Amino acid sequence: MIIRNVYVETVKAHGHPNIRGTHRSTIEITREEELTPRGDCIIGVGADKAINDLSPEFLETLKNDDAVLIAILSTSSYRDTILAQGSRNLILDSNEKIIIRKSSYIEPSTLGIKSNKAARDINRGLINELRNPNKLLEVKLLVFRLSEIEPVNIGVGRIVQHPSTTHRNPSSNSTITSNRTAILPENV
């Protein structure tokens, strides 16, 4: 299979002693530095980006019903992955936060809906590590459209990663990556 365009963004945040990660339907990363115990969906504070800081290409791709959002959460010791959907109804307008939801509820801070995980589903080691305010959280966000997947029906083979094309978008200081992957027969 070949995916024509994959757009990538990286958001960095850090931990806080009040991170609980127990919310059953959402997960949030915020630019705010303070966090009360009631903010049980928040897993990172002091984020360097909110929705309005993401590239126009990333956001345009996400505003499609066939968009797939992958969020890879990483600390120095742990990693977890969230899958969510885009939607033509996404508002995508927040200077403060990024929210991924298990539900279909949409408001300006919603980046993805119908996710497979919320804060309470995240690896507990990762959540415990983020109770340390000195711990860095890196969130790698990838988005692509299902309609841009090209099937390659050539049987059993090997996977080849074509060189990716990467460039920086100076207006949003984001990276745009276009990857192509193919499965080739064993004898090629």
- Tell me the domains of the chain and their CATH numbers: 7-147 (2.60.120.630), 150-185 (no CATH)
Instruction: Give the CA count within 13 Å in the CB-facing half-sphere of 65.
Output: 0
Query: pLDDT tens-digit profile of 38-62?
Result: 999 999 999 999 999 999 999 999 9
Cα dist from 127 to 70, 77, 81, 114, 146, whole Å: 19, 11, 13, 21, 31
Residue pointed to by tokens 């990276």: 175
**Average pLDDT score over residue span 176-183:** 51
Mean pLDDT of the chain: 88
CA 76/CA 81 separation, integer angstroms:
15
Given this model, what pLDDT does residue 169 score?
A: 60
Q: Looking at the whole model, is its pTM more than 0.85?
A: no
- % of the chain beyond a pLDDT of 70: 81
- % of the chain beyond a pLDDT of 90: 77
Given this model, what pLDDT does residue 184 score?
A: 44
DSSP letter assigned to residue 163: P
Given this model, what pLDDT does residue 182 score?
A: 47
Residue pointed to by tokens 């757009």: 7
**H or E segment and range at residue 139:** strand 136-145
CA 131/CA 4 separation, integer angstroms:
39
| Residue 151 pLDDT grade (very low, low, confident, very high; cuts 50, 70, 90) | confident
Given this model, what pLDDT does residue 187 score?
A: 45
User: Does pLDDT of 188 surpass 80?
Assistant: no
SS3 156: coil
Which residue would you say has higher pLDDT here, 165 or 105?
A: 105
CA 48/CA 18 separation, integer angstroms:
19
Least confident of 13-22, 69-78, 155-164: 155-164
Tokens of 73: 């959460």
User: Does pLDDT of 165 surpass 60?
Assistant: no
